[in-house]
Structure 1
Amino acid sequence: MDAFDSPRSLSEALATTGYLADEGLATVAWLAQALGRPLLLEGEPGTGKTALAEATAELLGVPLIRLQCYEGIEASQALYDWDFPRQILHLRTVEALGRQGEVDQVEHDLFDERFLLARPVLRALSEAPCVLLVDEVDRADDEFEAFLLEVLSTWSVTIPELGTVRAATPPFVVLTSNRTRDLHDALKRRCLYHWIEHPGLERELAILRTRLPEVDATLSEQVVGVVQRLRAEEDLVKPPGVAESLDWARALDALGASRLDPEIAAATMGAAVKDREDAERVRVALDRMLTR
């Protein structure tokens, strides 16, 4: 992002990838790069948190390295493993060549970089410049969060057998959270923070038209209109995000639809609504929504 001299220029550049950032998001993303800080994005699923990291990597022409967090993830699963099958093969080769007596050298060779399997965090430190996406960090536990904080503070990790690996150029880091639990203040202080709201009607329609120009304009308007009302009026357990709007429009277009009627809307609702009770509630409301 060094080539962008303002949040507005960044926003315009992101739009060329199909990602339409509002002023607040463009500003905090630009500042995160300018200040060398990680960017923590929270919001409902489907609001474009992960997509921002993907668009940024595409825009900068650098690798996107993704660390998907989950319950029980450990630091080793984010850092590195040793390739045990190759190490065993190496030992058997040494035995076959009759070099068993060189114990110290054999042990040293076992922990050479060629046997190291770099996981996302180590890759990001080694391969920068890149974009490191730490997705759904709220699913990890406190210990893993503390590990991330240490890495984000020093941009380095220590491998006992090899030494310290330090990023020559710190990666641009995007952390996302669906807020299934509160993150610790220490991690939040290290990052710049932004809550991503669902977009308004005009912006969501612009996103659909940018990402899916092949979809009939009237159909896009109807899809966005229904999705907006679902979020505002139906009190759903899992309101559809922009990702679901896009999926629904793609599904309708694949069926050759040019307009949204109750029958085809009900048949394709699974692209937009992903909860059984929500789906039943929406099907009851479709006639009313589509006759407005």
Structure 2
Amino acid sequence: MAVDRKTKTYRVTKQAVAPRKNWSEAIKQGLVQSHHVKHPSQHGACAELSRSAHNIALQEALKCTECENLHINRHMMEADITARAYIVSEYPPFFSCESVQDDNIDPLDTSPPPNKNATFWDDITLSQQQKYYDAIDTLIKKAERDSGKPADETTVLFAHYEVDFHIRQHYLRPRSLLTLCRSKEDIKDLNYWHWENAVSDELASGVSPEYGVGWVHEPSNSIGHQIEAWEKGARLREEHLAEVREQWAKIMEERRKQRLRKVTFLFQGVPIREYSYESPCEPPLTEEEIVCSAARLAGWV
């Protein structure tokens, strides 16, 4: 564990790993651990405000009880590793999620900005780290019970992949194009659009290496899992829509009351008639216009 003696902080380091043959023993002996960075601001409300999107997804996945069976298999893992979507050259392994910082960019600088793979390991807490490894340990023990033999390196890696894949789904869910879909017809249109892009991307990649990167293929069928989550969320979307409509109805009623105008007609100082009308979003009616309108409604003219 790297310790900065000046500030007494623990640095998070993604270790360039050693051969994966040591993973099983490292997990079992509790030697493989990430190192938490302790910031003075990581307390209470400040900690909540500073949490990254990846960390929020991690926390959701650790507490999740809905994604009981994501139907993850080793073919999905192998496909993601082959496509370099799942990076296993470092420990812990992680899903590629390149991000480009857009702060303090020099408009005259034309050099391409460096990409950085952002992951939940950047700001993971000690309790989250413990729960993460507990989840992996549970999967490894289950695999050992099912197979009747000690876990090998592939089993350990697959346990990591299962947990990481679940976290990734929670990260993608609010950022997916599916959030724009209102019905299953929209889902069909989106799937067709995906297919068209995949085909054109495949053709473009054969013309020039500079092309063919506009669409990221998902060999693990991540979009399929997102669609399943979208379908499960139908009831919640309907409830949310009903709440929004109710709130909007209250707003419209309040605006109607704000537009309401009342005019009282007096005869020798005594009220004899009251006239109400809704003022449009225009300059208010003059007194003469109000009197003429009221007279027409009363049948006086």
Give the TM-score normalised by structure 2.
Answer: 0.20
Give the TM-score normalised by structure 1.
Answer: 0.21
Larger radius of gyration: 2
Question: Which protein has greater RCO, CA pairs closer than 8 Å, 6+ apart?
Answer: 1
